[in-house]
Amino acid sequence: MDAAFTLHDLGDDLVVRVTRPMPDLSAPLDATVETLWRAAAARVAAGGAGTLFNGRVFSADRISPTEITGHITEFRRIVAQMEDPALFQDLGLRPLSVCGVLRCADGVPVGRRHPAAIYQPGMWQLPPAGSVDPSAIDADGRVDLRAQVLRELEEELGIAETHIDLVRPLCAVEHPGSHVTDIGILLTTHLTGAQVLDAHRTRGNTEYDPLLCIPFADLSHFVARTGADLVPPATAFLSRAGLLAMN
């Protein structure tokens, strides 16, 4: 993984909480955000990757091994900061995403993102993955990362929680430009790779094309072969899960 990325250690007892409201933006900053958002939305739509929706996403203010605290922000602010990383000085966003490492009976699924996706277009990724949104936050502001990653698992791959034996945080990787912070989460299942691919084909969505299941013995070769086309946190997550060491 590129040294410019920041790796945060996480413990099994990690707590994630909302501790402050979304800050207001000045009129000039809001106008800049809106301009960048509209341009990005138009580009994504023109590329056939769908319609961007200005939902709400959790952004981390502070990260430690035992606690992540932050606030809910608008997706358009996150997109604007992705489009112009210099806006981090004013927006200070670290949007949190969950990234599952699904260890099935004989391998690990990987999928290629849409070539017109707003973030990391066309790159290989470890599914399931997605932003942490308000659906995972309870009335006391506590964020349930387990619920979020399991929801993504069912939406993307068509696999229900009943097929999952273990859910454990691995580490967090903060990207140097966008400051998107991916939390790697190990998921283990008794399902085979063929069963995972069948579930994706019959019940999952179309976020990944193609979706493959890489046998454990081939993981190191796959990582080396894909190189810069593999999202950088994937190597860290696979290593923390003890999977690259199996090759």
Cβ burial of 56 (10 Å; 0-12, 13-18, 19+) is middle
Taken in order of first residue, the domains within the chain and their CATH numbers are 6-246 (3.90.79.10)
Does residue 150 sit in helix, strand or coil? Answer: helix
Q: Which helix (H) or strand (E) holds 67?
A: strand 67-74
- Tens-level pLDDT at each residue, the chain (247 residues): 555 889 999 999 999 999 999 999 999 999 999 999 999 999 999 999 889 999 999 999 999 999 999 999 999 999 999 999 999 999 999 999 999 999 999 999 999 998 888 888 899 999 999 999 999 999 999 999 999 999 999 999 999 999 999 999 999 999 988 899 999 999 999 999 999 999 999 999 998 999 999 999 999 999 999 999 999 899 999 999 999 864 4
Tokens of 164: 């999952």
